[in-house]
Amino acid sequence: MQTLKGVRHFVTSGIVKQAVSELVVPVPWGEMRGRIWGPDHGRPVLCLHGWADNCGTFNTLIPLLPKECRYVAVDLAGHGLSSHRPNGVFYSFPEYVADVCRVIDALQWTRFSIIGHSMGGNIAGMFSALYPEMVDAVVLLDSYGFLPTDPKEIPKVIRQGLDEMVQFEKKKEEKKGKVYTYEKAVERLLAANPTLSEQSVHILLERGLAQVEGGVAFSRDIRVNLKNIVRITLEQSLELQSKIQACILIVLAEEGFEKIFAEGEQKRYIPALLQVYRDLNHTVVTVPGDHHVHLNSPEIVAPFVCDFLQSKVLSQPLSPADSQTAKLGHLLKTELVSTE
């Protein structure tokens, strides 16, 4: 299976120039896409973006992180350049975790680290709990690893999600998505997500738009906007959290998720999750900025992530099996493309 396609150079802020590979992993309904930075033999790090974003969310941060790592940033199903899920299929965390399994199987990774932003951090938390032997370190960027729901709210949420899917399937015109000029698409994303800088919007739109007749359309599946029907309680979250064996760094933004997105009951659960991390000697830091501070101002976040990867990952010796896995990248074929 050919997993890598197209090596090119990526420029961040007009200063850092770095070779980047395009990732293509076949899945039963199409393909998972993404980008790869770093040497073939580097310590593997999987990067998972947030809801409605794409792997471009790491474009400004990864060039500031240790060069000894091999960073694979994926477009989750229904996002960026990755294929949408089949008709009638919901988007939920267990399905995203299964997608991670597919990607790491294609990469032949047996042990790796994860950097996850927002929803990507919740996917990282669930994966690390279910497959603790595979994850050595986790970085949660403005994420808590889990997002519990009040048990009393779960029936209502599930019904809402089911109803939304049925109604969506009846409206064929919604499936096509709206057509924009590029300028209008920029305005639309800025209005929908005020935590993004204009530069960050342009970065995300590199993989977030598709050329269509009459202009451009957002490439993400409209169904990612539907209510997530798979919820877990605080008790279930704490049980999963207890299964994680990896070292964890939580980088929270002062004006981030808790203030912007967390619903009433969720705000009550966040301190409990953070206290468990602290009790287990994981690191929790708060930085100035908003939910996308890692993309808007990566220089604020990078020092914490660098120190964490150096001390918890790069300072540890590789086992023979892990060393062999890390070197498998040179067996994959790549094709050089123009940087112009």
Q: Which amino acid is at 9?
A: H
What residues form DSSP beta bridges with 161? none
Query: In this structure, are strands 215-218 and 4-12 parallel, antiparallel, or unpaired?
Result: unpaired
Query: In this structure, are strands 43-48 and 112-117 parallel, antiparallel, or unpaired?
Result: parallel
Site of tokens 């941060």: 61
Q: Where are the alpha helices (DSSP H) in the chain?
A: 93-107, 119-130, 154-170, 172-176, 182-192, 198-208, 234-243, 257-260, 264-279, 293-296, 298-309, 320-326
Under the phi-then-psi rule, with left for phi > 0, alpha for psi from -120 to 50, and beta for the rest, what region is 280? alpha
Q: DSSP label at 42?
A: S
Q: Which of 23, 134, 113, 2 is nearest to 76 (CA)?
A: 23
Cα dihedral across residues 8, 63, 297, 194: positive or negative: positive
Q: Look up 118 and say whether it is catalytic.
A: yes
Could you give the C-alpha distances from 39 to 185, 272, 316, 333, in angstroms and in order? 35, 39, 18, 14
* Burial category of 328 from C-beta neighbours within 10 Å (exposed 0-12, middle 13-18, buried 19 and up): middle
Active-site residue, selected from the candidate residues 21, 118, 237, 297: 118
Q: Which residues are catalytic?
A: 118
